[in-house]
Amino acid sequence: MRLPKEIAEPLLIWYRENARDLPWRRDITPYRVWVSEIMLQQTRVEAVKPYFERFMRELPDVRALAEVEEERLLKLWEGLGYYSRARNLQKAARQVCEQYAGELPADYEELQKLCGIGAYTAGAIASIAYGIPVPAVDGNVLRVWARLTGDERDILQPAVQKRAREDIATVIPADSAAEFTQALIELGAVVCVPAGEARCAQCPLQAFCAALTENKTDILPVRAKAKPRKVVPMTVLMIFDGERVVLHKRPDKGLLAGMYEFYQLGGALTADQVAQHVRSMGLEVTKIGQPIAAKHIFTHLEWHMTGYFVRVDDVTPVADRLTCATLDELGSKYPVPSAHRAFREAINSLDACAQ
């Protein structure tokens, strides 16, 4: 089934009455739409709000983003995860300064040439900020589309997503593209929600919904099962001399690129093995704490971590990419991934207890 043009009017009326007041919906600019959409990928609205406001205060325009130091940028992103989003944002900001005089292009195709901007983000910027009638199809919108049309194919297939974009493009009202895009996203976020929770009684599009008519809201959209994630055991060492802790800067490419983490080793080491390793780094170990277990789930893998607090006489940067940071600097300067949050909290509370 294809989408009927008649969905636009009730959807827009519903949106005007029900839109949430969100920071990126106030003072809409291409830059604000862009940054918010990148933050909102894989991250909940409530979690994004304070990050977005702080980011806008500190980096209010494309030029400021292009020029900020990478470490500061990653610090502003710390906790949001998927840090390549922040790095790509900066690469694209530099492209925009060099090629478009600091203004995001008002063109769906040109936007997609920028680093980290795919069909969805380009559609969101073009339609929400520039009013261009092009589709912006993210997971929320795909779910709404699959239910309305009753399409039972796997929504992760690029061909199905292309079909959704083409279908939606035919029903965007030329004079209300900005509201229409936001309305579809909003409907998917608050009414046409996943997994048996859909609030169909509140939906302005009930009369058009194949899934509702056929009693299939619980099985649509269809999504192929993901492969099981690889489990990687890790040992994390909080090497601390009472004042400073050892940090390792991750490589410039790959997982958590450029982030600072506690010293980490592959495998699950015992306290004795840890002591031996730290001594081999040339440090004087005075105490090893009880193991602390933590887990972090990435898209394709899981770290199952055992953390040890390792008290040493004096931390010194003993190898390439190792840094020593005070606990204040850990909070304010170095971007530490959420994967190590449990250890950061442990070291902070231990320090607080010692005061």
> Which H/E stretch holds residue 215?
none
- What does the DSSP assignment read for 290-349? --EEEEEE-SSEEEEEEEEEEEES-----STTEEEEEHHHHHHTS---GGGHHHHHHHHH
x/- track of binding to ligand ADE for residues 45-84 (CB under 6 A): x---------------------------------------
> Which H/E stretch holds residue 234?
strand 230-240
Give residue 78's region: left, alpha or beta (phi > 0; psi -120 to 50).
beta
Determine the distance from the C-alpha atom of residue 79 to the mean position of all C-alpha atoms in its chain, rounded to a whole number. Answer: 9
Q: Tell me which residue has tokens 């989408």.
A: 3
Distances from the Cα of 119 to the Cαs of 31, 122, 310, in angstroms?
17, 5, 48
Q: With 0-12 CB in 10 A as exposed, 13-18 as middle and 19+ as buried, what is 168? A: buried
**Closest approach of ligand ADE to the CB of residue 322, in Å:** 39
**Closest approach of ligand ADE to the CB of residue 315, in Å:** 43
Considering beta carbons, is residue 20 or 227 the nearer one to ligand ADE?
20
Considering beta carbons, is residue 16 or 321 the nearer one to ligand ADE?
16
- Among 111, 155, 189, 278, interactor with ligand ADE by CB under 6 A: 189
Q: According to the binding rule CB under 6 A, does residue 151 interact with ligand ADE? A: no
**Closest approach of ligand ADE to the CB of residue 18, in Å:** 12
**Closest approach of ligand ADE to the CB of residue 181, in Å:** 8
Q: According to the binding rule CB under 6 A, does residue 40 interact with ligand ADE? A: yes
Indicate if the alpha-carbon torsion angle 277, 279, 281, 283 is positive or negative.
positive
HSE-up (13 A, CA, CB side) for residue 347: 30
Q: With 0-12 CB in 10 A as exposed, 13-18 as middle and 19+ as buried, what is 282? A: exposed
**Closest approach of ligand ADE to the CB of residue 19, in Å:** 9
Considering beta carbons, is residue 146 or 185 the nearer one to ligand ADE?
185
- In angstroms, the CA 125 to CA 178 distance is 9
- Among 134, 171, 185, 191, interactor with ligand ADE by CB under 6 A: 185
Considering beta carbons, is residue 66 or 164 the nearer one to ligand ADE?
164
Considering beta carbons, is residue 62 or 129 the nearer one to ligand ADE?
129
Q: According to the binding rule CB under 6 A, does residue 37 interact with ligand ADE? A: yes
- In angstroms, the CA 251 to CA 255 distance is 9
Q: Which stretch binds ligand ADE (CB under 6 A): 37-45, 77-85, 107-115, 207-215?
A: 37-45
Position of minimal CB gap to ligand ADE: 40
**Closest approach of ligand ADE to the CB of residue 302, in Å:** 26
Count of residues that bind ligand ADE according to CB under 6 A: 7
Considering beta carbons, is residue 176 or 306 the nearer one to ligand ADE?
176
**Closest approach of ligand ADE to the CB of residue 37, in Å:** 6
> Which residues are catalytic, by number?
37
Considering beta carbons, is residue 142 or 205 the nearer one to ligand ADE?
142
Distances from the Cα of 97 to the Cαs of 61, 90, 104, 135, 278, in angstroms?
11, 11, 9, 26, 46
Q: According to the binding rule CB under 6 A, does residue 138 interact with ligand ADE? A: yes
Which of helix, strand or coil describes residue 58?
helix
Q: Which residues bind ligand ADE (CB under 6 A)?
A: 22, 37, 40, 45, 138, 185, 189
